[in-house]
Structure 1
Amino acid sequence: MSAPPEQPTERIPVVPPPPPRPAGGGGGGRPPRRGLAGRVAGALALAAVASVFLVPDLWFGLDRWSPFTQLIAFRPVLVAALAVVVVVLGLVTLVMRRAWPFPVAMLAVLALGAAMLAPRLVADPLPTGGERLTVLSFNVYTGDADVDALAETIRRERPDVVALPEAGERYRERLQPLVEDLGYVSRASVGERSQDVNGVVALVSPRFGDVDFRVGKISEDSPFPYVEVSGGEMGDLTFVAFHSVAPTAGSVAQWRIDLAGAGEWCRTGEPTVVAGDFNATLDHSVLRDAMADCGDAASQRGSALVATWPTSMPRWLGSEIDHVFSSSGTAESFEVLDLPGSDHRAVLTTLRL
């Protein structure tokens, strides 16, 4: 008797469980998204790089070396550029909300940079006493500035003392006859055989009588001798017409020496005014440290972001590198003047000593 045929058994298909979802959501075939910690770390790294270029003076004084020395001279422009970057990142965040750490981090750097500039826009209280001293400083650009326009400015403003960087004996001989009838006396730091670019000229009004001029150098290697004025009716006041070397790539070390030397006049304990082309802005820690015992006339009147160089750029785009510093005075007024023939603007201030 044969066995009944086997009945086929029904196979139940086994369905594998779905793969686990990647962390942070998304489809099974999509790569996992970067976590919040990674985005924050990336934003902080980007902000750190941006801050090195925007505020190198806060990074252990990096602004004392190239290329940061040159970049920081235009910090107001860098702050404006970073503000645009923050706005763009903010707009990106509207579409990609996960990117929010980047505009937040960059906004913090922007706030730091703006905080470095803000005090120079706030004027000090006007001085109520003290003797007036009007100071004019103008880099005459290798002696090419319009001497007639400068003489007319002197006639109109009647400054008590004048500093003219990049003017030597050649330029002085052209200017002196135009103001001699006003009683001004002058002295150049270099003679006729030297190019004007190497010198500085100081002019003094007749109110100070028979003053003493002294020519000197910050250091043996300083390319620009200064002119120091004292005596006569100036009493214990000293006026210095000064020009620092520019911080080009090969001259930054000498630039630091020149600025440090200029600061010595502020520490004499006597009333001193130092005026001229410092080739540095108040963003440079070298200048701030050197002139810590002097007040900057432009900053005292809330005008220290008005560019004095170069004239080829608008006043809001260049650098404010021409200064009047005083160890015992406060600026009553401050003005930036456009005179023809130079790549610098002139600065005119009245101090109360």
Structure 2
Amino acid sequence: MLSVMVSVPALRSRWAVVVVAALVVAQVMLLAPRFIPEGRHAPSESVRLRVATINANGGGADPRALVDLVRTERIDVLAVEQMPSGGVQALDKAGLGALMPYQELHPEYDSSIYSRRPLSRGGTTQVNTAWPQTTAEVTVDGRRVQFMAVHTYYPLGDAKRWTQDMTALASLARRSGPDTVFLGDFNASLDHTPMRELLAAGLTDTHAELGRGWARTWPVGHALVPPLIQLDHVLHGPGLVGISVGEHTVPGTDHQAVVAVLALLPPKGQAT
């Protein structure tokens, strides 16, 4: 009787180990692709676009530091979220207007786009998001690349509202062409189902594409709390490919800026 009583817990323990091991293997298989570069390459003559996004923390981001980042990284297109009108003026005073004279500014809607290159078809979206998202196009090598500065509602404030925002973005992505870039503060990591659904709509996360699957962009600036998750992303359509991506600290904001280099791929069927 004693041996039976001993063997039952042991059997249960073995099954627990098997279940845990299976879960670990499944998790590794799920996460592994994020750490393995996809290996797509662009022809050496392909045009490169240097893009960046930053959540300015309600205008708290140091304007001079942000302008220095744009200058040092030679940014072509910059998306800024959570920058009120006063912050826009501070950036202009710090010299951003001289570096990026083409602008689609909508501080009233929480996002703006700055560019070294002329912008066209600027405006805001009219979909079911908490506030409109700012959009504009840049013509590169005869092709119009559409940019969207993204800032969604935050899930801890209203999970339903945030999910609606992400669903609306996925709808926009499905209607967008291959030369599309969504960049900004999505308030979502790659582990969130709505983010995976957005990617399934035809977008690629540049960090995961380049094997940088454990980037962390929030929170920063806290002595006792290190960055934990990636909320800030550069997503692109199949007409582009990621060349490099990295995170940069700008004093005054609790998000890291993300800087990515994207290359335009030749249209399908065109010889390289």
1:302 alignment partner, SS class: coil
1:236 pairs with 2:236: no
- Kindly provide the amino acid, as one letter, of the partner of residue 163 in structure 1: A
Counterpart of 2:96 in structure 1 is: 179
Task: List runs of 5+ in structure 1 lacking aligned partners.
Answer: 1-21, 25-31, 43-98, 192-197
Q: Is the 8 A contact 1:172 1:187 kept in 2?
A: no
Counterpart of 2:68 in structure 1 is: 152
Counterpart of 1:266 in structure 2 is: 173
Counterpart of 2:112 in structure 1 is: 201
Match for residue 102 of structure 1 among 16, 25, 41 = 16
Counterpart of 1:137 in structure 2 is: 53
Counterpart of 1:33 in structure 2 is: 5
2:183 alignment partner, SS class: strand
Which protein has the bigger strand share?
2
Match for residue 159 of structure 2 among 252, 260, 263 = 252
Offset at residue 213 of structure 1 (A)? 1.7
Match for residue 86 of structure 2 among 166, 170, 176 = 170
- Kindly provide the amino acid, as one letter, of the partner of residue 304 in structure 1: G
Higher relative contact order (CA 8 A, sep 6+): 2
User: TM (normalized to structure 1)?
Assistant: 0.66
Which protein has the bigger helix share?
1
User: TM (normalized to structure 2)?
Assistant: 0.85
Task: List runs of 5+ in structure 2 lacking aligned partners.
Answer: 265-272
Larger Rg: 1
1:81-125 deviations in Å (ceiling 9; x for gaps)? xxxxxxxxxxxxxxxxxx443333222222222222211111121
Q: Is the 8 A contact 2:84 2:107 kept in 1?
A: yes
Counterpart of 1:323 in structure 2 is: 233
Counterpart of 1:294 in structure 2 is: 203
Counterpart of 1:115 in structure 2 is: 29
Q: Is the 8 A contact 2:130 2:165 kept in 1?
A: no
| Stretch deviating more after TM superposition (124-133 or 337-346) | 124-133
Match for residue 188 of structure 1 among 87, 105, 108 = 105
1:193-244 deviations in Å (ceiling 9; x for gaps)? xxxxx51121111xx325332023432xx33321100265673321110101
Counterpart of 1:72 in structure 2 is: none
CA RMSD of aligned residues (A): 2.2
Offset at residue 142 of structure 1 (A)? 1.4
1:33 alignment partner, SS class: helix
1:211 alignment partner, SS class: strand
